[in-house]
Structure 1
Amino acid sequence: MSASAIPLTVLTLFWIIVGCVLPFVIPKGPNRGLLQVVLMLTAACCWLFWLCCYLAQMNPLIGPKLSSRTLMLMAKQWGNGIDDLN
């Protein structure tokens, strides 16, 4: 399984718009700078969180569940000498 280019591109463009375009659309006011920083940080954090979750699916940490018979066959084949796995 490999990463698809379409979701990566679409979501990256979405968060670029939120973080780079929307801060310039904020109307003038006393908190304009704060709102711009909030939008940029929100976009960066949300994009990074999404990217980590998306890429974590490429190499999951949870392995397959093997039956006792399969484990015993593997142990016999590898020469570990396990008599019984229950």
Structure 2
Amino acid sequence: MGTAIPLIVFTVLWGGVGIGLPFVVPKGPNRGIIQVILMLTAATCWLFWLCCYLAQLNPLIGPKLSQHAILLMAREWGNEIKP
């Protein structure tokens, strides 16, 4: 449930921008263009946020540590590794 709350909140936020705001654009010669801009902005911002959020859930690249650093951390944390 911890990962669902931000997903729901930001989906509702960007959904409101992309679905709700185009209805309140004042009438004028550029109304259609402004509506499309709002929808595309909401879609791309939501997609960018989603990619960044999901990349943090399962990072592909971890830290590169030397063998000495790994052995030192294991000893300090109480899990000494015997070579």
Tell me which stretches of 4 or more aligned residues in structure 1 moved more than 3 Å.
none
CA distance in 1, matches of 2:2, 2:63: 21
CA distance in 1, matches of 2:44, 2:50: 10
Single out whichever of 37-46 and 56-65 deviates more from structure 2: 56-65
Structure with greater proportional helix content: 2
Letter paired with 1:33: G
CA distance in 2, matches of 1:15, 1:50: 10
Structure 1 residue 27 and structure 2 residue 22: aligned? no
Contact 1:3 1:58 (C-alpha < 8 Å) held by counterparts: no
Q: Does the C-alpha gap of structure 1 residues 3 and 64 become closer, same or farther in structure 2, counting only changes over 3 Å? A: farther
Single out whichever of 19-28 and 53-62 deviates more from structure 2: 53-62
The sequence identity of aligned pairs, in percent, is 71
Contact 1:23 1:39 (C-alpha < 8 Å) held by counterparts: yes
What's the TM-score once normalised by structure 1's chain length? 0.73
Q: Deviations over 1:5-33 (max 9, x none)?
A: 11100000000000001000001000000
Structure 1 residue 61 and structure 2 residue 60: aligned? yes
Q: Find the structure with the greater CA-based Rg.
A: 1
Structure 2: gaps of 5 or more residues: 72-83
What's the TM-score once normalised by structure 2's chain length? 0.75
Structure 1: gaps of 5 or more residues: 72-86
Paired position in structure 1 for 2:77: none
Q: Alignment RMSD, CA only?
A: 2.0
Single out whichever of 60-69 and 39-48 deviates more from structure 2: 60-69
